[in-house]
Amino acid sequence: MTVPTPPAQCLLIVDDDPSAILLLSRILEGEARIVFATSGEAALRQIRDHAPDLVLLDASMPGLDGLETCRRIKADAGSAEVPVIFVTANADLQLETRALELGAVDFIHKPVHPPVVRARVRAHLALKQKTDALRRLAVVDPLTGIANRRAFDDALDQEWRRALRHGHALSLLLVDVDFFKRYNDLHGHPGGDACLRRVAGVVTAATRRAGELAARYGGEEFAVLLPHASLAQARAFAQGLCAAMEGAALPHGDSPVGPHVTVSIGVAGLVQGCRDGGAGDRSCHACELSGPCRAGPGQLVDLADQALYQAKREGRARVACLQGTVPGASP
């Protein structure tokens, strides 16, 4: 017997009445993978765990009611784009107006009518699928299929802020294909494109941990973002990447470095110190250095770029590392 593949999309049903959840689940069986919650608090946990594509949300619940749950969903960057349909027996226009102001996309009134529920859910799941596809196109490099510069800039900003909040390490690699112009001149632009796709595959294969991001930075340059990685760990990662690229044995007919395509890598790590030596009891936002700290992502890129040029000056096909501190911070 063939086991059916579960639907790719996920639907979260939120209602404090289990019988209402059961009814909606039966109506929507086969439309999406269904998860449920019986409270607003549980709904927020389910969103973090399952990243649903659509939420059916009861308006009237004890504790965290539907309006507040919707507000929190929309206030969180990780769930703000998830469409919310209110399911309610309340015909109050003020409630509907407030819900729409908070970001709800539709209403289903109780008692529910199965054909209407299915039609509305299908429509919003289809729209979410199209929106996600467009969003992916906006952040994917069309040549290599990995993250593009826009996606990298957004991820760097988020990881920098997260590192600043929690005090963990953050490192960045800039990876440059050695003598790529010569490769293009000898092998032609189609060959150059194939080379970049191969390099992108090697770089992507090296990023295995959660939060690590490989992106095409521009031209023949790639970037790798390593949250929680110290400079020593990032150096080891970069050295492994150099070895993996050489191991790919992609022929380069005009490289002074060797017979195969190689890469030079600049590695940067940035210390987010403070005048209290990192032991102060103030929050970052209460500190007069918060401005320079927020400028940190650009400094991290500058350091990685300097390290990359150092690797090139020293002969290419190698790794160079630099580490700095936030402006105004203690050394």
Query: Domains in the chain: how many in total?
Result: 2
Confidence of residue 5 (pLDDT cuts 50, 70, 90): very low
**Residue 263 CB partners (closer than 8 Å, separation 6+):** 175, 176, 177, 178, 199, 241, 242, 245, 317
Question: Is 276 among the domain residues?
Answer: yes
Among 138, 169, 188, which residue terminates a domain? 138
Residue 111 sits in the same domain as residue 169: no
Confidence of residue 7 (pLDDT cuts 50, 70, 90): low
Helix (H, G, I), strand (E, B) or coil at 88: strand
Span 243-270, pLDDT tens digits: 999 999 999 999 999 999 999 999 999 7
Least confident interval from 56-65, 136-145, 206-215, 321-330: 321-330
Question: Is 1 among the domain residues?
Answer: no
Residue 104 sits in the same domain as residue 32: yes
CA-wise closest residue to 265 among 249, 244, 247: 244
Share of the chain above pLDDT 90, in %: 74
Residue 111 sits in the same domain as residue 192: no
Residue 225 sits in the same domain as residue 91: no
CA-wise closest residue to 301 among 264, 270, 275: 270
CATH number of the domain bearing residue 101: 3.40.50.2300
Rounded-to-integer distance, Cα 67 and Cα 296, Å: 37
CA-wise closest residue to 217 among 307, 153, 161, 261: 153
Residues found in the chain: 331
Span 40-92, pLDDT tens digits: 999 999 999 999 999 999 999 999 999 999 999 999 988 999 999 999 988 88
Residue 192 sits in the same domain as residue 248: yes
Among 81, 106, 138, which residue terminates a domain? 138
274: containing domain? 149-325
Residue 113 sits in the same domain as residue 234: no
Residue 117 sits in the same domain as residue 197: no
Structure confidence at residue 324 (pLDDT): 66
- The DSSP secondary structure of 252-270, one letter per residue, reads -TT-SS-SB--EEEEEEEE
